[in-house]
Chain A
Amino acid sequence: MSVCIGVGGMAVRVECPDARFLHELRRHYAGFVEDVTDGALELVVEPLPPPAVGSDAELEVRLEAGLWILHRGDFRAEWDPGAGKGVVRLHPNRYSLDSVLRIIHSLELARTGGGLLLHGASAVRNGRGFVFSGPSGAGKTTMARLAPAGVRLLTDEISYLRVAGDGFEAWGTPFAGELAQPGENIVAPLAALYFLRQAGENRIDPLSPSEALRLILKNTLFFAHDPVLVANVFALADRLAGSVEVGELSFAPDVRVWSLIR
């Protein structure tokens, strides 16, 4: 039994013997469920009983003999990047699986040089993609909540950016933040990337090239301490900084900020 979850043009077929869990996944990832296709990555879930003692051990991602080991208090996974297959042992809940999927996507994007996951809300307006990035509390979900009619939300938490021609595309993701609502499964060329700063006014200021690169790297989801992947992520961030408008968006938390986003 399985469900195929496609995000950012990358499909992961999740196999699990627990029918109730698969049903929950189908419901949660509804807009991102695909027919099983050849070429999908494969993730086998080996269900564990609920832990007797919860653990909040921090995430560790390391490469061992060609396999990525993903270990956190609530899961342990092995991912074979060459084969595009992996196994995860966890007590079935979608939050844990969601984390595993984010990590797999970030590893695969870094490995292939195909794109980046960025802490940020993103949306499409007039056919153009916009990302609003920043750490927790910066206002990502607020920007999503303030979006006026006609704006299509891609995510309020994790922006999925893929290299496309000379630029990047912004894809919708099911990876939600406080909004607790998946984005739309659509894609648009990325027009601008703004780093959020809450203020008493609405304004966009340009960033120096070095500050733009620094902020992109700082807000990129990247878990693996590996020289090859670090070089790839660095090159992708540099490419992103040079291919779209990057600025600081100071905003007062009201809908007028969206008048700047066109």
Chain B
Amino acid sequence: MNEMYPKRAANAAFRVLGGEAIVMNPEDSSLFSLNATAAVIWRAADGRRSLREIVVSDVCVEFEVEPEDAMREALEFASALAEHGILILAETPEAGA
């Protein structure tokens, strides 16, 4: 599988509270609640680090989960948010990485 580099949509409004995140889509005001695992990925999604790197370095360390299980869930989560346009999945990292 190719690497993907997640990045939060520029206008998405969000707040991380108690480890969880609330995200609002600026285009249609739809609301998303992210659990603690998803919130870690959301916070790290700057377009410079790959999803795999975020999962291995952040998610697995913080939650003590197996990389493959965590990666499967991360892909699901990232794809769902990408469908709503609030997470951008690029095949290459952003400049400045």
Residue A217 at the chain B interface, CB threshold 8 Å: yes
Q: Which stretch from B28-36, B47-55, B59-67, B89-97 is at the chain A interface?
A: B28-36
| Assembled-state Cα–Cα distance A217/B15 (Å) | 12
* Interface flags, B12-49, vs A, CB<8A=1, else 0: 01110110111011111101010000000000000000
Contact at A231–B13, with CB atoms within 8 Å?
A: yes
| Assembled-state Cα–Cα distance A217/B29 (Å) | 9
| Assembled-state Cα–Cα distance A208/B72 (Å) | 28
Residue A23 at the chain B interface, CB threshold 8 Å: no
Task: Kindly identify which residue among A210, A218, A230 contacts B11, using a CB–CB cutoff of 8 Å.
Answer: A230
Once A and B bind, how many residue pairs between them come within 8 Å at the CB atom?
49
Task: Kindly identify which residue among A213, A225, A233 contacts B22, using a CB–CB cutoff of 8 Å.
Answer: A213
| Assembled-state Cα–Cα distance A63/B73 (Å) | 38
Contact at B26–A231, with CB atoms within 8 Å?
A: yes
- Given contacts A208-B20, A213-B22, A214-B22, whether A234 and B27 have CB atoms under 8 Å apart is no
Contacts of A214 in B (CB 8 A): 22, 31, 33
Contact at B24–A217, with CB atoms within 8 Å?
A: yes
Contact at A225–B17, with CB atoms within 8 Å?
A: no
CB-based closest 10 A-B pairs: A234-B13, A227-B26, A209-B17, A227-B11, A210-B20, A210-B17, A230-B26, A213-B22, A231-B13, A225-B28
| B interface residues with partner A (beta carbon < 8 Å) | 11, 13-15, 17-18, 20-22, 24-29, 31, 33
Give 15 CB contacts A-B under 8 Å. A208-B20, A209-B17, A210-B15, A210-B17, A210-B21, A210-B22, A210-B33, A214-B22, A218-B31, A222-B29, A225-B28, A226-B26, A230-B11, A231-B11, A235-B13
